[in-house]
Amino acid sequence: MAIGESQLDSDGPSTDVDAQFGWRYTFGKVMQDTTARWGLYVVAVVLFISAYTLIDSNLSRLTFGAVSDFAAAEALPLFEHPERIPPPGEIESNVPPAFHPDGTLSHPLGTDPDGRDYFTRIVYGAQVSVSVGIVSTLIGFVGGTIIGAVSGYYGGWVDDVLMRIVETVYAIPPLILIIVFIVFVSGGTPDIRYAIVGVGITFIPIFARIIRSEVLSVREMDYIEAARASGVKNRDIILRHVIPNSFAPVLVYATLQIGVTILVVAGLSFLGFGAQPPTPDWGQMLNVSHGYMHSNVWLSIWPGIAILVTIMGFNLFGDGLQDALDPRIND
């Protein structure tokens, strides 16, 4: 075993250098691709906004206690409080956006029916969409990687059973499975946490399938044979050799999947199964604005554009990453 380990270790450093070079090379290729670069910029901006608002709202919470304490609202440096409904008379409700003759520059995108600044709510909406998108994708990614790797590595009945389960989950349209999951598990009181877990679990099969097909070829490699011959435990082989070597395609897929996840979560929130009011969330804002389609057109426009731009950013970046990692697709 000692010999086997040291052999593998002596292989280690050189592949590490390769891998580092590989990552830098990949990043360079992504940056060369104009559309992918723009995708990365959008992703970076959205991530920055989410991080900023997250710190912002939590700082005021830490300093001033609960968010429901509306005295804290004044502590937010750049924005108004996204959830605070101003008392009547303070801010007009349903103010149109700034370019409209009745609009004001202090509310560039207007105010919502409760008199809250719409721009602030759109900005804060990024936080929910992005964090939910990333956390859910991570759940699907980790769960799928484990199931796919175990299934592909062991083969036989383990593979059969796991893949039948995966196929079955796959057979129920994701949105419907997630809704049913949220309703039954939450006992009829939906909440964003159930949505995150539900979306994550539903996407496990997709990731499991991709990593399994990678593992099927990695499994036959000489270094796996060598590790097995030198007595390395199956669990260690999976964790240290199989998974790291089947990683790249799943990572690309995960980037593209974040876009899909944000899309699904927006749909869930739109139907009322995601973030609950007063949390600012794009999908949920579209649900509210649905009732004002005749009078306040702009309420339906901005959240949709925010969703569109965010998802487009992730998709462009993911496409670029895919092209950079897989030269066969280049045309």
Partner 1 sequence: MGLLRYTIVRLIQAIPVLIGITVITFILANVAPGDPVRLMLQGQEVDQELIDRIERQYGLDRPLHERYVAYMTNLLQGDLGYSIHRDRPVTELIIQRSGPTLMLVLSAYAFALATAIPLGILAATRRNEPADHVSRIVALVGVSTPSFWIGIMLILIFAIQLGVLPSSGLVYPWWGPEHYGYSGYVELLFQTIRHLLLPMIALGTLQMATLMRVERTQMIESLQGEYVKLARAYGVPERTILRKHAFQVAQLPIITIVGLNLSTALGGAVLIEYVFNINGLGRLLLEAIIGLDYQLIMGITVVIGTMFVVGVIITDISYAYVDPRVTYGDRD
Closer by beta carbon to partner 1, 60 or else 202:
202
CB of 44 to partner 1, least distance (A): 17
Closer by beta carbon to partner 1, 218 or else 316:
316
CB of 312 to partner 1, least distance (A): 4
What residues pair up with 117 in beta bridges, in sequence order? 111
State the residue for tokens 């039954």: 184
Report whether 287 contacts 272 (CB < 8 A): yes
- DSSP letter at 191 equals -
Closer by beta carbon to partner 1, 98 or else 183:
183
Closer by beta carbon to partner 1, 69 or else 167:
167
Cα–Cα nearest to 227, from 19, 16, 9:
9
What's the one-letter identity of residue 279?
Answer: T
CB of 263 to partner 1, least distance (A): 6
Closer by beta carbon to partner 1, 22 or else 249:
249
What's the one-letter identity of residue 9?
Answer: D
Q: Is 66 helix (H, G, I), strand (E, B) or coil?
A: coil
CB of 280 to partner 1, least distance (A): 17
Report the alpha-carbon distance of residue 143 to residue 208 in Å, rounded. Answer: 8
State the residue for tokens 């897989």: 326
CB of 95 to partner 1, least distance (A): 19
Upstream peptide bond of 278 is cis (omega within 30 degrees of 0): yes
What's the one-letter identity of residue 140?
Answer: G
CB of 19 to partner 1, least distance (A): 29
Report whether 304 contacts 289 (CB < 8 A): no
Helix axes 34-64, 298-325, angle to 10 degrees: 120
Contacts with partner 1, residue ranges (CB under 8 A): 164-165, 167-177, 179-181, 183-185, 187-188, 259, 263, 266-267, 270-271, 283, 286, 290, 293-294, 297, 300-301, 303-304, 307-308, 311-312, 315-316, 331
Report the alpha-carbon distance of residue 275 to residue 283 in Å, rounded. Answer: 8
CB of 3 to partner 1, least distance (A): 39
Closer by beta carbon to partner 1, 129 or else 246:
129
Report the alpha-carbon distance of residue 125 to residue 280 in Å, rounded. Answer: 5
Closer by beta carbon to partner 1, 86 or else 96:
96
